Structure 1
Amino acid sequence: MSSHFLAERSVSPATGAEQWVVVDAGTYTLHAQACAYLASLRSRGCSRSTERAYAGRVALYLSYCQDQRIDWAAPRFVELAGLQRWLITEPLPARGRQSSLVPRFRSSGTANAVMTVVSGFLRFGVVHGWVTPQTVAVLSEPKQLFHLPPRLRPRRGGPVP
C-alpha cells in the first residue's frame, strides 16, 4: 500500500507550539477533518503521544480507503472488516536499510487499537456532519443473542449460581 496520507508534526513559528496533523503525501495539503479530530484530542487534554499515535492511525485509515477506493466518510461494515483483516495479514515495511528475512505483522491488539481510533474518528465526523449516523450505527448496533450460553440467565445476564 502506498502512503497517500502522512502524520506529520507541525510547529507554529509564532508560538513554537507543536501539534500533529494529517497531510496528503502528494500535495502536502492538510486533511481538514482529520486535523479537526486531532485538535479535539488536544482540547480534551490528551497527551502528545496519544495525538501522535492517533494521527498515524487516522492517516493509515485514510490511505487504506484511498487505495481501496472507499469513501472514508461512508465505509460499509464489510469494508471496515476488510481493513481489520488487512491490518493483521499485510506485512509491515522493513525498518532501516536492511530488509529482514522474516516479515513483521501487526498483532490483533494493534489492529483493534487502529479500529478503535477509526471508530472514534467516524463518531467525531457524525457530530460535524461529515459522516452519516447510519454509518456509525453499524459500528455500535446492539446485538440480540438467540441462543444464550448455558450458564446465562435470559433477563439479568448474570451467570447462574
Structure 2
Amino acid sequence: MFSKADIEKYFTAEKNESLLFVIIGAVAIIAAVIFFFFIKTNFYKGATIPLLVIGLLVGIVGFIVYKKSDADRIRNVYAYGMVPSQLKDSEIPRMKTVMKYFVIYRWVEIILALAGIVLLFYFKDNADKLFWKGFGIALTIMAITTLAADYFAEKRGSIYLKGLESFIQQK
C-alpha cells in the first residue's frame, strides 16, 4: 500500500542523489581546471572539454533538483492526506513527463559513451591525436557515470509513479 512514507522516501532519495550529482559535477569541474591550467598536455586538454561541459550540466541540474526536493516532498505529502486529486492532476502527469525524459537521457548518455569509445579506439595508436584520446576517455567516463546515476533514479521514479497510480485508483 502506497503511503506518505513512500513519498518521503522517494523525495529523500531524489535529494540525496541530486547531491551526488552536485559532487560529481564539482569534481569534474575541478579536474578540468587542474588538467587545463596545470597539467597542460594535449591528452588532458582534450579531457578538459567533456569534464567541464558535462560537469557543469550535471552540477547545475543536481543543484536545482536538490533545492526543490524538500518543497516537492512537503507539497505531495500534504496532497496525499488533504487533496489527493492534486496527486492525480499534478504529480502523476509530472512524473510521466520525468519518466519520458529519462528515456531521452538514457539514449543521449549511451550515444555519448559510444562516441567516446569510438574516439578512444580510433585514436589509440596515433600519438599526434592525444587530444582526441583524452576527449574520448573523459566523455566515456562522464557518460557512463551519469547513465548509472540516471538508471537508479529512473527505477526509483518508476516505483514511485506506480505507487501514485495505485493510490489514486483506490480513492
TM-score by length of 1: 0.28
TM-score by length of 2: 0.27
**Between structures 1 and 2, the one with greater strand share:** 1
**Between structures 1 and 2, the one with greater helix share:** 2
